Structure formats: structure tokens, C-alpha cells
Amino acid sequence: MNSSENKSPESNLEKRLKRQVIGKPHRFMAVVPLGFEETLVEELKYIGVECVQDCTANGNCAAGIKVAGDGKVEFTAKITEAWKAVAYSRIANRVLMEIATFKAENFGQLEKGVAAVPWELYLGEMGVVIHVTCRHSRLYHSDAVEERIRKNITPTDHASAPQHLYVNLQDDRCTLWLDLAGEELYKRGHERFVAEAPLKETIAAAMIFESAKIASTNNPKSTEGATPHLKASDASALITFIDPMAGSGTFSLEAAYIANGLIPGKCRDFALKHQPAFKEGTWNFILKGRHSETAAPLRHSEERSDEESTTNLLSIITSDISERPIDIIKHNVEVSPLPADIINPQLKDFFSYTIEDFQKASSESARNIILLNPPYGKRLAFDAPKLYTKIGLKLNEFKGAVIAILAPKDCTGNLLKACPALNPSNNPEAKLIETSHGGFSLNAIFARI
């Protein structure tokens, strides 16, 4: 008897999964912190997400990864490529898969469109949480839309680990998106204590990515040829990260995770793992692929052994003016998979630093990146414009350093006036990205001083 005779026949469900979900390209939407859409496009290309052509009925085809609106990036690919994005992206908050799109001018059309979806291919026996948004549509009552959708989905009960379905009704068209992650991707799967108003890891990673691009440019007057991929085996690419208003230490932790090649999704349980199309062998293969070494804007030398300390390749200077953040950061490092000596937070006032302090902490050829998330909003109990003027004046002292700083919009003018090198109008290498965090409108500014 040959081996083929020993194989059990595929079920109808398995055949449909292979044909409609696993083998067929889908449209995906990655949700990213506002303003960092282009940064995510670069990261997904860097990770190696392979796209296919997306052709419309009139014959127009578009390939690749593209910005689709505020905080949204779209790409068309096989589902395993989206799994790759979930596993490796440090910047995306969510990755959603389109499972249906149809006209819905009334509830009859809505229910017909939902009933036509082969839910057994996407949900299996899992429950579902439905999130509805309605814009410029005849169907505008989100609760009524959810009720009609839920009665056409089997099962209708909530499981202990339900799937998340995002329903977008816009211009009388309904699009159904299945969340591949579940909990937002900014969570890294490690225990973490936080100080007041912690910075999300996704924004921190995006700011590291942007600042690393500037730091990797050999010619300070030109960004041509810049790459976010800095090899520590090149002595001139050694980096010192300075996180002098550390808070919970998000900047420092993200830099250390990146430099140590820790895959952000390796320790996470994702919604995709509980979907019918999930293949554990494929997922494990993705985690062991070349991306485990290269899916980061910073990396260590290829020659480094696992036992070798990382501190000779990357320096991180972490400090805060208050004792509590220092204790929080120490705890976060202790419970993380990071080397114990890579982050050593110190009690120090940012305004007491000198450029010599940075030079002492690293080699002369190191490139300094200063990452700043100063207080804003409710975190400020004093004159905010005055604080940002003071910060700007201080930054002028750090000649040659790359700055990445978050500033509230109403204080950005004070900051740029005090430190003209941060102003894109004065410095062609400078970059300003309008974003938001915690309900506040902010500017993320990047420049070499």
C-alpha cells in the first residue's frame, strides 16, 4: 500500500479553506498610529510582505502596499503574508482581512449580503464581537445594524475568546473586516508596569524607525540612500539611544527589543490562531524565517553569538527626574526577556545633560539618537509653552545628534523657534508628522541638530 492510500480524504471544509481563504488573495487593512502610514508602508516592505495585483472590474490593477486614508494602509496578498505582518510589525495596531463587501441601502440588502458570507470559513465555532461604524449611509443606526448582522451569523453566542468583526458602512456600501490580531498589536506579550500616560509601543517604534533613517544617513545634508537598517558590524553605525524623559521606559524597551531581534508577536496569542484557516506549522515557519533576524530598523552584528553582550553594539541611556519611573523601568526589564544589563535607568534631570555625557557612554563613532516624550495635557501643571521653549534651547547643545520628539500642537511653535534645526523650513532633513496620542493632537518631529 503506498503512502497516498494512507492519507485520509480532505473534508469539504478543508477544501473550501484551501480554495477560498488560504489560496486566494485577500484585501487587508493595517491600522497604524495617525500620521505614520508611510512609515508602516516602509516597515511592511522591510519585513518582506509579498503582495499581488489587485484588479478591479474595469481592468485597473494596483500592486504593492498603499496608504488608504488616515491611519490606514492596505495591501492585497495571501493570508500567510498578513500573518507575517501580525507577527513582525512593530508599528501596526491592527491587521484586518476583508471578507465581504456589498451594497446595503436597506436592511434587506444588508441581511442578504451577510447571509451570503461562508462564516464557517472565518469564525468556525467561535463567538464574535461586532464593531459598527456608519458614515454617509441610509443605514446609520449602528445598534440596529449590529442586530441584523448578528442574527445572520452562526454561532451567535459569545465564546470565551471571541473573534472581532469590524463593519464599515460608508456611502451605502458595507464592508466586513475580520481582525487577525484580537487585542491591539502594541501589546508585546510581556508583563509591563506603566507610569502615568504611557506612550504606546507602536508610536515609540515608529519614531525609532524614523529617527534611525536619519541617523543612518552618512551625509547629514542629504537623505538620499538612507536606510532604516543599521548594521552594528559597521563601527560607524553604532548607536546610542538617549531616553532622558523615560517615564515607563517605552522608548528604551522598544529599542532594546529591536536590537535584540525579539519578534513582537512571538509571545502573543492572536485571534488568527483560533480561526479555521490557521496552520500551526505555517505560523512556526514564519517565526523561524529570515525575518527573525532582519525585521527591525536596528540589528546586531551577524557575527554576534547568543551569549555575547549587546552593550558593546548598542548603548541605551535611560533616565527620569522622578524615582517612581526608575523603579517601574527596572521592574519591566527584570520581567522581560532582555539582557539584564542593557537598560540601567538613572535618576537624572534632562536639563543637566551635556554632550560629553553621551560621548562617555559610547564610542566616539556612535550616532546619538535622543528620544523625547515630554509632559503634555493633564501631565502638565505649569506653563507648557515655556517648558517647550526650554527644551528647544537645550537641544541646541547636542550638535550632531538626531532628535525625535513629541510636542503638542500649541507648543510646537515655541519648540521650533527655540531650536531652528527642528524646523523643516530651516532644515531640509527635518520631518514633522501630525499625529495623536491619548486624545491629544501632537506633532512628531525628527531632525539632526
pLDDT at 428: 93
Say whether both 172 and 110 belong to one domain: yes
- For residue range 419-441, list pLDDT tens digits in order: 999 999 999 999 999 999 888 89
Identity at 163, one-letter amino acid code: Q
DSSP 302-334: TT--TTS-STTTEEEEEEESSHHHHHHHHHHHH
- Tell me what the mean pLDDT of segment 280-295 comes to: 73
What SS3 state is found at 194?
coil
- Model pTM? 0.86
pLDDT at 280: 94
Residue 285 counted as domain residue: no
Say whether both 362 and 418 belong to one domain: yes
Residue 360 counted as domain residue: yes
- Tell me what the mean pLDDT of segment 315-332 comes to: 93
305: pLDDT confidence band, cut at 50, 70 and 90?
very low
Domain boundary among 130, 148, 179: 179
**For residue 54, what are the domain limits?**
3-179
Residue 225 above 50 pLDDT?
no
pLDDT at 382: 65
Higher pLDDT, 266 or 353: 353
pLDDT at 15: 85
What is the C-alpha to C-alpha distance for residues 206 and 186, in angstroms, rounded to an integer? 11
Residue 235 above 50 pLDDT?
no
- Starting from the edge strand earliest in sequence, which strands make up the sheet with 314-320, in order? 346-347, 314-320, 239-243, 367-372, 402-408, 440-448, 431-437
217: pLDDT confidence band, cut at 50, 70 and 90?
confident
346 Cβ neighbours under 8 A, 6+ residues apart: 317, 318, 319, 326
Say whether both 307 and 440 belong to one domain: yes
Residue 26 counted as domain residue: yes
- Tell me what the mean pLDDT of segment 136-153 comes to: 93
Higher pLDDT, 255 or 381: 255
Residue 222 above 50 pLDDT?
no
Say whether both 223 and 76 belong to one domain: no
DSSP annotation of 382: S
167: pLDDT confidence band, cut at 50, 70 and 90?
very high
What is the C-alpha to C-alpha distance for residues 93 and 252, in angstroms, rounded to an integer? 20
Say whether both 83 and 219 belong to one domain: no
Say whether both 123 and 209 belong to one domain: no
Residue 231 counted as domain residue: yes
Number of structural domains in the chain: 2
What SS3 state is found at 130?
strand
Length of the chain: 449
Q: Are 260 and 17 in contact (CB under 8 A)?
A: no
Residue 57 above 80 pLDDT?
no
Say whether both 40 and 99 belong to one domain: yes
- For residue range 61-108, list pLDDT tens digits in order: 556 899 998 899 999 999 999 999 999 999 999 999 999 999 999 999
Residue 281 counted as domain residue: no
Percent of residues, the chain, with pLDDT higher than 90 = 61
Say whether both 30 and 64 belong to one domain: yes
Say whether both 72 and 21 belong to one domain: yes
221: pLDDT confidence band, cut at 50, 70 and 90?
very low
Domain boundary among 145, 179, 213: 179
Domain boundary among 179, 212, 231: 179
DSSP annotation of 335: T
Say whether both 137 and 206 belong to one domain: no
Say whether both 168 and 206 belong to one domain: no
pLDDT at 162: 83
Residue 306 counted as domain residue: yes
pLDDT at 152: 87
Rg of the chain in Å (alpha carbons): 24
Residue 384 above 80 pLDDT?
yes
Q: Are 96 and 178 in contact (CB under 8 A)?
A: yes
Q: What is the domain-level CATH number for residue 116?
A: 3.30.2130.30
- Tell me what the mean pLDDT of segment 9-32 comes to: 87
Residue 222 counted as domain residue: yes
Alpha-helical runs (H) found in 91-200: 107-115, 142-150
381 Cβ neighbours under 8 A, 6+ residues apart: none
Q: What is the domain-level CATH number for residue 229?
A: 3.40.50.150
Say whether both 207 and 173 belong to one domain: no
> CA nearest 167: which of 180, 150, 182, 183?
150
pLDDT at 59: 54
Residue 193 counted as domain residue: no
* C-alpha distances in Å from residue 253, one per residue of 220, 299, 367: 27, 14, 19
Alpha-helical runs (H) found in 176-310: 201-215, 250-259, 280-287, 291-294
